[in-house]
């Protein structure tokens, strides 16, 4: 790895860097001061991409894939804790660390892969918001995609007033989603014995090709590459004292923040799948995969007119929340990997255009009826890209030359590498299954042409 030169890297998000003071005194006041970044990261774990994969998984396979949701969330807790450790110990986010410590060609390649992952993530977020606007207000899907650009102005307004305002909006939207799905669970009346059984892993998940595809989609939708870059940057908005004891305290409190927030994300992700299983799988509607179909069927099947409205409101809150944090992540990646400094409004406009243009192209090319398939595919792409963010993160936080005395404990390093290996193995398996299926379809088509 390359030697570190602090002159090559300026702080992440310089306009809010170390802008939030940490009070002295009672521990709960310090915990509240650190609360916020974890919830902004948790947004990425309940974005519209999760909806598509969780809906498809619940409708097709009942409660079976709840174990995948749980496993993905536990991986997320571990990986986000590593992001906290990297940001606090080094003062660098993951993108800056890649540029500082890796060869230039490797760093550039990781930047390209990260931009692909962010494009896939933004595609899901923009499409989710546009679908919600269409369901609630009958706004054409293409126009709804364009309206998502308003979040750029919202970020500029809120961040100008202080990073805490942006965090407050995010927490309010998360609370809205949680309330909506709490009510949806009450309406759907799931079998809680089967729900509990669904959290137990089963071998058929990896032996059934369709189930494995959805499972890896859930993994990609839950543990998102851009969140690793985002968290390692926004944790640095807190102004802890630069001493080893205070850094250890910051790591502990920031880890509590992200772990609590991700438990809330686990509830929401599980709730989406549970509602889909209880409503669609058990009623003979296993083929429901489109978000629009789920919206139209919820109220008739549950006998409650509020069910569909709450579903769409939660989707809109999810999409808008995710576009806010996705735009910040795009800025962090661009600045961190390329050391490219632009005016805030221009940076955010560029990152938003990187989402809107692909979304519009997909809608115009594939049509509105294929939005859910695009959402699921985007999450599989995210999962495949995940290894290229996780492996550098584990490498950096396990290297004493980079982390000093705040290096990962040995047990944490082993656990982190185990998670990274699981992610790589699952992705290789998925690619093998996909290649086999494509080959089979091509061979079948060729035989059909010969027979004709």
Per residue in 126-143, pLDDT tens?
A: 778 888 899 999 888 888
State percent of the chain over pLDDT 90. 45
What are the structural domain ranges in the chain? 6-451
Asked if 4 contacts 223 with a C-beta cutoff of 8 angstroms, the reply is no
pTM: 0.87
Tell the CATH topology of 6-451: Amino acid/polyamine transporter I (1.20.1740)
Q: What is the mean pLDDT of residues 251-262?
A: 96
Indicate whether 8 pLDDT > 70.
Answer: no
Indicate whether 181 pLDDT > 80.
Answer: yes
pLDDT at 183 (0 to 100) = 95
Q: What is the mean pLDDT of residues 156-175?
A: 82
Does residue 282 or residue 191 have the better pLDDT?
191
Indicate whether 334 pLDDT > 90.
Answer: no
Per residue in 342-397, pLDDT tens?
A: 766 676 677 667 667 777 777 777 766 666 666 666 666 776 778 899 999 999 99
Per residue in 59-75, pLDDT tens?
A: 999 999 999 999 989 99
């Amino acid at each position: 790895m390359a030697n570190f030169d602090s002159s090559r890297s300026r702080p992440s998000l310089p306009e809010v860097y170390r802008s939030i003071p940490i009070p002295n005194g009672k521990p709960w006041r310090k915990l509240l001061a650190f609360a916020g970044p974890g919830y902004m990261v948790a947004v990425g774990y309940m974005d519209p991409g999760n909806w598509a994969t969780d809906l498809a998984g619940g409708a097709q396979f009942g409660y079976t894939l709840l174990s995948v949701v749980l496993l993905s969330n536990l991986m997320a807790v571990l990986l986000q804790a590593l992001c906290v450790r990297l940001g606090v110990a080094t003062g660098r986010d993951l993108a800056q660390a890649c540029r500082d410590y890796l060869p230039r060609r490797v760093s550039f390649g990781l930047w390209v892969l990260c931009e692909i992952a962010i494009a896939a993530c933004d595609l899901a977020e923009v499409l989710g918001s546009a679908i919600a606007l269409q369901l609630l207000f009958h706004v054409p899907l293409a126009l709804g995609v364009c309206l998502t650009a308003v979040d750029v102005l919202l970020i500029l307004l809120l961040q100008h007033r202080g990073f805490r305002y942006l965090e407050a909006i995010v927490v309010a939207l998360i609370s809205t989603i949680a309330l909506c799905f709490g009510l949806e669970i009450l309406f759907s009346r799931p079998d809680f014995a089967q729900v509990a059984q669904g959290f137990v892993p089963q071998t058929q998940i990896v032996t059934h090709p369709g189930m494995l595809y959805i499972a890896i989609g859930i993994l990609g939708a839950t543990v998102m590459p851009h969140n690793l870059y985002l968290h390692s940057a926004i944790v640095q908005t807190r102004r802890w004292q630069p001493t080893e004891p205070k850094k250890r305290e910051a790591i502990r409190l920031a880890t509590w923040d992200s772990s609590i927030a991700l438990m809330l994300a686990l509830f929401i992700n599980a709730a989406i799948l549970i509602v889909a299983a209880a409503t669609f799988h058990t009623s003979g509607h296993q083929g429901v995969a489109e978000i629009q179909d789920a919206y139209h069927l919820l109220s008739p099947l549950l006998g409650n007119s509020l069910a569909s409205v709450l579903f769409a409101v939660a989707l809109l809150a999810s999409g808008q929340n995710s576009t806010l944090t996705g735009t910040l992540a795009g800025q962090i990646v661009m600045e961190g990997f390329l050391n490219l400094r632009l005016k805030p409004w221009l940076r955010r406009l560029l990152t938003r255009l990187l989402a809107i243009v692909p979304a519009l192209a997909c809608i115009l090319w594939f049509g509105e009826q294929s939005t859910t398939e695009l959402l699921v595919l985007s999450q599989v792409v995210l999962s495949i890209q995940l290894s290229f963010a996780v492996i550098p993160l584990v490498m950096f936080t396990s290297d004493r030359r980079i982390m000093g005395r705040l290096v990962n404990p040995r047990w944490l390093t082993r656990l982190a590498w185990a998670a990274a290996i699981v992610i790589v193995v699952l992705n290789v398996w998925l690619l093998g299954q996909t290649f086999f299926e494509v080959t089979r379809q091509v061979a079948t088509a060729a035989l059909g042409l010969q027979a004709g």
